[in-house]
Structure 1
Amino acid sequence: MTAKEHTPARYLPATSPALSTADQEALTDLYVRGTPTNTLRAYERDLLYITAWKTARFGSALDWPESEPTALAFLLDHARDLSDAPEEGIARQTAEALIMQGLRKSLTCPAPSTLDRRIASWLAFHRMKNLTSPFGTPQVKQARAKARRAAARPPAPKSTHPITRDILEQLLATCTGSRRDCRDRALLMLGWASGGRRRSELTGLRRADVSCREFDKKGLIWISLLETKTTAKGETPRLVLKGRAAQALVFWIEVGEIEDGPLFRPISKADHVLKRRLSPDAIYQIVKHRLKLAGLPEDYASPHGLRSGFLTQAALDGAPIQAAMRLSLHRSLAQAQKYYDDVDIAENPATDLLG
């Protein structure tokens, strides 16, 4: 499915009388091509949620521009735990309606990051329509800041545990001989050894992104990531894969007969390789399945554990953080440093002063 198919026309640039039909179509296409696919999907989900909330809360459709009272009501409805709110209250009734529609999980206060993202999307919709957003008014801005502070909570790790090398070896030991095993071995090893790849990066890889020209002589494979969370189109990073990880990937390409198209694909129950690419959720299911086969709890780690595990292992092995970041592609030193800090503090001699 293309980015254009994901994009509801309701939040694309508003039609302007000053533009010809061709120019209007070109402007719309520019917005689609200039916005990451994952952002377009988030816009779609947020627009659906916001529209359903306004309908349940006020019995009306969204206004463009939206009113300040509506923006304040949205903040108030999402900045508190509604479990103790009166059952006849409009805020609770609205939340229950959204839960019934599968758009909200519970009456508890949503995470501040979720509220921030939905507001950011709402702001973006106004900008695309060349309209002033109510979230920029002094009262709403102040209420938003207070809501963020009131709902602040310690950041939850994206993976319960990092998949360090010893855990990865346990997962790889469950990959024996089928095509599915070959695919999972290559996916896990590439995802870990190339710097801890995100799910979208793994599922987005294509055969053309993998160069095996130096494999026979040097045992090296070069991987091009066309677009990542921290890099843009035209800034394609090249990552190297070597040793067992490179061998596993080459073996998968041969066994799966991957000549072009997606690199990692679904496999049928009859062990046939399909043509379409894996979905990001499939990566989660693969990690969960391998954890179970390895005798570990299914919720021991998530796919992000490959990323956190790579950096944690780099710290344990004494690899310079700058070297690890060249593969992980972390843009923020402070973000990558967290994994090193967790290891360093346990090894800090000052922790043994009492004996």
Structure 2
Amino acid sequence: MVDHSPGRPAETDAIALLDDVPLSTAEAGYVEAARAANTLRGYRSDWAEFTAWCTHSPTGDGAPLPAAPATITGYLTNLATAGAKVGTMSRRLSAIRFAHQLRNLPDPTANARVIAVWEGIRRTHGAPPEQAKPLMPPDLFDVLDACPTTKHWKDPDRPDEPDLSGARDRALLLVGFVAALRRSELAALTTADVTDHPNGLVLSLPRSKSNKHGEHAELAVLPRSGNPARCPVVALQHWTQLAGITDGPLLRGVTKANTATTRPLHPESINTLVQKAINRAGLDPTGYSAHSLRAGFVTYAHLRGANDRAIAHQTRHRSLATVGTYVRIHHAWTDNAATTLGL
């Protein structure tokens, strides 16, 4: 929620920068809901960084709100010369724009000076965004096999138990890969989102990156596999049965006592869990994240002969061109005329 506590300068929080009339609790909640939680956290961090820079700004009047065009261009130039990535600078501009919108102030990023400098920075320093490495078979199988199945205790009188964290991680990996889910979608899954089907399970996603307002339900399927060790349906059902989950969040934390909590996983913790699972398999986790599951699905499906439209049916991409950006170096050699030159 919005922090209106005394002693916290309003100008350090882009979300608190509304009218001079205090927000009600309900209004503040809706303001928070207007953006994804990760976006709001990023805005807060970026706005705090910008306001801190403004106190030492060598250009403009140094005021963050309203920000003078010269202040913003000086800030961008400083970031660019320091080696900041274009994506980082773009996000900072979004935070500045958002803060001004919340105070009904003109958008300073639309100023001609800012546009010109920003375009020059993009042309000079632009580069393809870093993408997560795809996690797919056979590496995915190794990662699954490395998930612990039995919990051993130091107390010799306590019998071994099924390892809940291992069961949860197998479900997370297989569901994330086969359903091509984003980390936020994995974290938001509840038992109410899962429907049985003769061919497996259907996941209903009420919110997603491309369906922020929930105007239509998005569906992803989990088909049954002939190999139970590789089956997302078996993995998910095994986890929920062991954890005693009958309603509420589907993917949850596991305590040191080997019990499931009632709280859903945080999207950031899913990143950590994926990287730890990769490390357990003896692989270098560098470059991998929760998004590696979604990227792995797209890349592997292409290698298996699926077309972009079929892949987008599962990933729920609205643009087939976006699907193509996932097919990286692994697909560059497929059906490429350069391999037929005979030189």
Structure 1 length normalisation: TM-score? 0.80
Pick closer, same or farther for the CA change 1:202–1:236 going to 2, 3 Å: same
Q: Within 5 A, what are the aligned runs for 1:5-84?
A: 8=13, 11-15=16-20, 30-57=30-57, 62-81=63-82
- Is there any run of 5+ residues in structure 1 with no aligned partner, and where? 82-108
133 and 234 in structure 1: CA distance in 2 versus 1, 3 angstrom threshold: closer
Q: 2:157 corresponds to which residue? A: none
Name 2:194's counterpart in structure 1: 210
Tell me whether 1:289 sits opposite 2:261 in the alignment. Answer: no
Q: 142, 147, 160: which one pairs with 1:170?
A: 142
Q: Which amino acid aligns with 2:107?
A: S
Q: Flag the 1:53–1:138 CA change in 2: closer, same or farther, 3 A.
A: same
Between the aligned partners of 1:77 and 1:271, the Cα distance in structure 2 is 49
Amino acid at match of 2:211: T
Q: Could you tell me the percent identity over the aligned residues? A: 30
Q: Higher helix share goes to which structure?
A: 1
1:198 is aligned, of 182, 191, 194, to: 182
Q: Answer yes or no: is 1:271 the counterpart of 2:273.
A: no
Alpha-carbon distance in 2 for matches of 1:313, 1:73: 44
Instruction: Report the CA distance between 1:249 and its aligned residue.
Output: 0.6
- Going from structure 1 to structure 2, the CA distance change for 1:323 and 1:4 (only over 3 Å counts) comes to farther
1:227 to 2:207 alignment: yes
CA contact under 8 A between 2:201 and 2:223: conserved in structure 1? yes
Higher strand share: 2
Which residue of 91, 105, 111 corresponds with 2:85? Answer: 111
The residue aligned with 2:160 is: none
Q: Per-residue CA shift, 1:95-123, capped at 9, x if unaligned?
A: xxxxxxxxxxxxxx110111111112211
Question: 1:53 offset after TM fit, Å?
Answer: 1.5
CA displacement at 1:12 relative to structure 2: 4.1
Letter in 2 for 1:145: E
Q: Which residue of 1 aligns with 2:7?
A: none
Match 1:181 to one of 154, 166, 179: 166
For residue 175 of structure 2, what is the amino acid of its counterpart? L
**Following TM superposition, by how much is the alpha carbon of 1:41 offset from its aligned partner in structure 2, in angstroms?**
2.0
What is the identity, as a one-letter code, of the residue corresponding to 2:68? S
Q: CA deviation at 1:221?
A: 1.4
| Structure 2: gaps spanning 5 or more residues | 5-9, 150-162, 225-230
C-alpha distance in 2 between matches for 1:199 and 1:111:
23
> What is the root-mean-square deviation in Å for CA atoms of aligned residues?
2.7
- Corresponding residue pairs, total: 314
Mapped to 1, the partners of 2:70 and 2:62 lie a distance apart of 15
Match of 2:223 in 1: 242
Distance 1:42 1:341, change over 3 A: closer
In 1: Cα distance, 2:326 partner to 2:223 partner: 24
Alpha carbons 1:65, 1:133 under 8 Å: kept: no
Distance 1:303 1:341, change over 3 A: closer
In structure 2, distance between residues paired with 1:311 and 1:219: 21
Q: Distance in 1 between matches of 2:250 and 2:17?
A: 32
Asked if 2 retains the 8 angstrom alpha-carbon contact of 1:164 and 1:313, the reply is yes
Counterpart of 2:243 in structure 1 is 256
* TM-score for both structures, normalised by structure 2: 0.82
Equivalent residue of 2:222, what SS? strand
Q: Distance in 1 between matches of 2:164 and 2:15?
A: 44
1:44 deviates by 1.4
Distance verdict in 2 for CA 1:162–1:150, change over 3 Å: same
When residues 26 and 164 of structure 1 are mapped into structure 2, their CA distance, relative to the original with a 3 A threshold, is: closer
